[in-house]
Structure 1
Amino acid sequence: MDEYDDNDWFSFFNGSNDAGNEDTVVSEEVHLCKKSDVIQFGAAFLPAFYYTNFLLSLVGNGLVLCIIYKYEKLSTVTNIFLLNLVISDLIFASSLPFWAVYHKSEWIFGRGLCKLVGSCYSIGFNSSILFLTLMTFDRYLAVVHAITAAQSRRMAYAFVSSATIWVLSILASIKDIVFHDVMNDGDRLLCEMTGYHQSFLTKWELIGYYQQFFLFFLVPLVIVLYCYIRITIRIMSTRMMEKCRAVKLIFVIVFTFFICWTPYNVVILLKAIKTSFGDQNDCSNALDYALYITRNFAYLYCCISPVFYTFLGKKFQNHFLKLLSKHIPCLKINAAFLSTTSKTTSIRNFYK
């Protein structure tokens, strides 16, 4: 299997991943592209980035989790959605140290973790975008349909909505759980989609590309844009100035999310088009480099989102300051003042 030494880890299809299975042997010549430059690029830059992103995500999301536990509790729809969003980010970030080691050397964690880690990225991302979309839709209900939504926005609605998103995210990630496995290319152990005929894996790869772009990017984008257009119209028509800060905050979070993820999804779409209609013998590295860069740029959102909650949400700032005051004496006066001014503030206005 030395012929695969220079093959791209993330494009590893040899036409017969199970050499002992007669049904999977192909008679036609399989064209392999050498991707050694792409692999070296990934090995040089990705591990440090993954470790840094993991630590920042752990600290940022851990801080949000700590404040929810100490000051907010799960007594509102907003906090339930926020907690699930934090869990999504942590699930996603938990896979990064494994990928860091993998890019640096090889897969050393075994078959079980290969399947588990391979699905964590998909589950974490899918649930994250869906919870973000759900939070935006929930703000739309609270602002545009405040009276009618007051009856429906109850705890049962929050739990059922959250459970539905987790089920959808896991279902969308089944292919990663089933197809990811450990393979030996003769020089190192790889954790890739394997075990089936090349054409079969390519079809599922295409399904994943289109699912990613349309179901977990384009549809949420349309929903978010619609919700914010209606929210903006409502605010302008009723002069609900007290809602402006909440709308601005969530808008910044959503806008940043799509700024981070749009380049990656555009590359995903281009790879799908190339796989479907392009020249299969084209060994250009342009999309491979673009995928590395845009995907890692998208990973940063797991670090960015908690920062918004901490520094843009006024009530969250108060909680953060009170948390710091327990360890920094000079902040105790400010914390005491904030406590008296915000004691009667409803948790429903968490983003104000």
Structure 2
Amino acid sequence: MSDQGQMDNSSALSTTFMTPNYDEEIVTICNKMNSNNFGASVVPVFFYLVFMLSVLGNGLILYLLLKFENIKTVTNFFILNLVLSDLLFTLPLPFWGYYHSDQWIFGMTSCRMLASMFYIGFYSSILFLTMMTVDRYMAVVHAIYAARTRNTFYIYMVSGTVWAITFLSAIPKFKLYRTREDTFYNMTLCEEMGYAVDEMNTWKLVGYYQQLVMFYVLPLIIILYCYTMIIIKLHFSKMHDKHKAIKLIFFIVVAFFLCWTPYSVIIFIKALQISRDFIDEDCDETIDYAFFICRNIAYFHCCINPFFYTFVGTKFRRHLSLMLGRWAMCGSRYRMSSLSSKMSEYSPQTIYE
């Protein structure tokens, strides 16, 4: 079974049963029950938690954007796309959480559609973070040029390119993911399948290196370069509160690095194992435990995005305060109205009637 891209049913079974080829020597299949049980108990809870936090955080940002902001500005349009990417990424998580704890009960079409939706959100979220970084770099370091080029056509072109890249990158997932009945374990699985072992390993390698290069190494290099240049520019500027801006930039880079680096290292190790035809004769489960833990850390980044990119910003904090203030005022008016109605019940006129 494939664990590339995070949607394998590792909680149920980590081994793949292949059609016997009597011209080849028999290969011992590992049954990694300990790591599978660990995944079955930890992964669903974490997926549900990430889903709730992401929907609450990104949903609130979406509401504030639509309620108080002009969506057509460059920054707000990028934030809107980032929010949609994070929501697209997290909406399938409850389905995968249930799958890890039991089996796939949602049908073939849902298997393909939810896998594709997950990867589109997964890839586009990282690319929009990168594009937002580039846009901030242009606005700070090349302010004059950016003022001439940051227009409606610019944001539509960049956003359209990001979505096109992510849709194309997710096509193999839609093609490979399907359901099958596992008679040995008496359950329905949703996984990458349909090709011979060598072909599936090739598809796995393509997916691993695509994820490593396009959605980790290149974004990390771009983010580090852009924020380094921004820090240098701010350091020599007379900008008010520039130390707060530098501190925020530092936390953004550190959060991206800490969330994605451990998981990318695990993906790289798995790619090396496939490339070298690695056979785990000792059935060591260390890499499986590390995979579950590092993947969960990486997924949590979509919950951090709302905090770093909006709640820390002055505008969104002001909008949030305004919204909460209105709610508090409405609540206060409601309480005063209720209190007045209750007081009227005990007014002198009421008592003597």
TM-score (norm 1): 0.85
Which residue among 180, 183, 191 is the counterpart of 1:183? 180
- In 2: Cα distance, 1:53 partner to 1:87 partner: 15
Distance (Å, rounded) in 2 between the aligned partners of 1:114 and 1:12: 20
Alignment of 1:1-352 (within 5 A): 11-16=14-19, 27-28=23-24, 29-186=26-183, 187-241=186-240, 245-277=244-276, 279-282=278-281, 283-329=283-329
SS in 1 for 2:327: coil
Give me the whole-angstrom Cα distance separating, in 1, the residues matched to 2:317 and 2:99: 38
Q: Secondary structure at the match of 2:190?
A: strand
Match of 1:350 in 2: none
Decide which moves more: 86-95 or 299-308.
299-308
8 A Cα contact 2:10 2:100, kept in partner:
no
SS at match of 1:78: helix
Q: CA deviation at 1:331?
A: 10
Once the two structures are superposed, what CA deviation does each residue of 1:238-269 show, in whole Å capped at 9, x if it has no partner?
33346554454344234312211111011111
Amino acid at match of 1:322: L
Contact 1:13 1:194 survives alignment (8 Å):
no
Residue type at the aligned position of 1:319 = H
AA at the equivalent of 1:119: S
- Alignment size in residue pairs: 320
Q: Is contact 2:35–2:285 with CA below 8 Å preserved after alignment?
A: yes
Task: Tell me the secondary structure at the aligned position of residue 287 of structure 1.
Answer: helix
66 and 8 in structure 1: CA distance in 2 versus 1, 3 angstrom threshold:
closer
Residue aligned with 1:284, SS: coil
CA contact (8 A) 1:235 1:241 kept: no
Contact 2:13 2:36 in 1 (8 A): no
Q: Structure 1 unaligned segments of length 5 or more: list them.
A: 1-5, 20-24, 333-352
Q: Secondary structure at the match of 1:325?
A: helix
1:8/1:303 CA distance change after superposition, 3 Å: closer
What SS does the aligned partner of 1:107 have? Answer: coil
- Equivalent position amino acid for 1:321 in 2: S
How far 1:171 moved relative to its partner?
A: 1.0
CA distance in 2, matches of 1:27, 1:185: 25
Taking structure 2 as the reference length, the TM-score comes to 0.85
Question: What is the distance in 2 between the residues matched to 1:196 and 1:143?
Answer: 50
For residues 108-166 of structure 1, give each alpha carbon's deviation from its aligned partner in whole angstroms, at most 9, with x where no partner exists: 00001111122223211211111000000000000110001111111110011001001
Identity %: 45
What letter corresponds to residue 218 of structure 1 in structure 2?
V
CA RMSD between the two structures:
2.3
1:330 Cα shift?
9.4
Distance 1:263 1:167 in 2: 28
- One-letter amino acid of the structure 1 residue matched with residue 286 of structure 2: A
Unaligned runs of 5+ in 2: 1-8, 333-353
